[in-house]
A and B are shown apart, each in its own frame.
Chain A
Amino acid sequence: DAGITQSPRHKVTETGTPVTLRCHQTENHRYMYWYRQDPGHGLRLIHYSYGVKDTDKGEVSDGYSVSRSKTEDFLLTLESATSSQTSVYFCAISERGPNYGYTFGSGTRLTVV
């Protein structure tokens, strides 16, 4: 009954290759977010979206791009993966914005070798 799914759940990729992570929601929520989680850093915002085709950068956006062509899908692309992008990536959704909290996906564990 998950309203938010991330794919893939795990991925190993080589340095220099492009990678796309997908976040899919069935809740019709307006706001979507991508975070990365690294030991000692908590969760850091990469990009966020406040509507179809409306996206903006977070605090760690270098090396990442996003697209939102439909309400339900928010794609995160690593244009040329580097080892420093090895991380766990979480997608989150919110109906009314950050003041009301998020629902998170299960995460994608990405390893860049």
Chain B
Amino acid sequence: AQKVTQAQTEISVVEKEDVTLDCVYETRDTTYYLFWYKQPPSGELVFLIRRNSFDEQNEISGRYSWNFQKSTSSFNFTITASQVVDSAVYFCVLNSGYALNFGKGTSLLVTP
């Protein structure tokens, strides 16, 4: 069965700290896709990244970076030099064939 585990329910950091959000997944598929979505306090869901199982290169986008490791079934998300605007719930997501399967989310609070 497809499963996503985000063990960190809540994280609190002070602005400018680096923070890593963990994501571990389970799948029997050889081809699969992983995503991260952000949900700020306003409530909308914002797409951040999509990664397929054949591409293990790490990705960097500004202060955001993602570390995909098939050997440990992990797809971790790091925010460098966090800012207050990064405060949100972050979801790690795995496709399940007919739909996307969401983790329970990690709530990140960045304080000044």
Contacts and interface: CB of A to CB of B under 8 A. Distances in A.
B47 A33 contact: no
Interface stretch (B57-65, B69-77, B100-108): B100-108
Taking residues whose C-beta sits less than 8 angstroms from the other chain, chain A's interface range is: 20 to 34
Contacts, number: 51
Main secondary structure of the interface of A (DSSP, over half): strand
A106 B97 CA distance: 24
Contacts of A33: 99-100
Nearest to A106: B44
B91 A43 contact: yes
A90 interface: yes
Q: Name the interface size band of chain B.
A: 20 to 34
Residue of B35, B44, B52, B99 with highest tally of chain A CB at under 10 A: B99
Given A42-B104, A58-B99, A100 B50 contact: yes
A42 B91 contact: yes
Please provide the 5 A-B residue pairs with the shortest distance between their CB atoms, ordered closest to farther. A104-B45, A42-B104, A43-B102, A42-B102, A98-B95
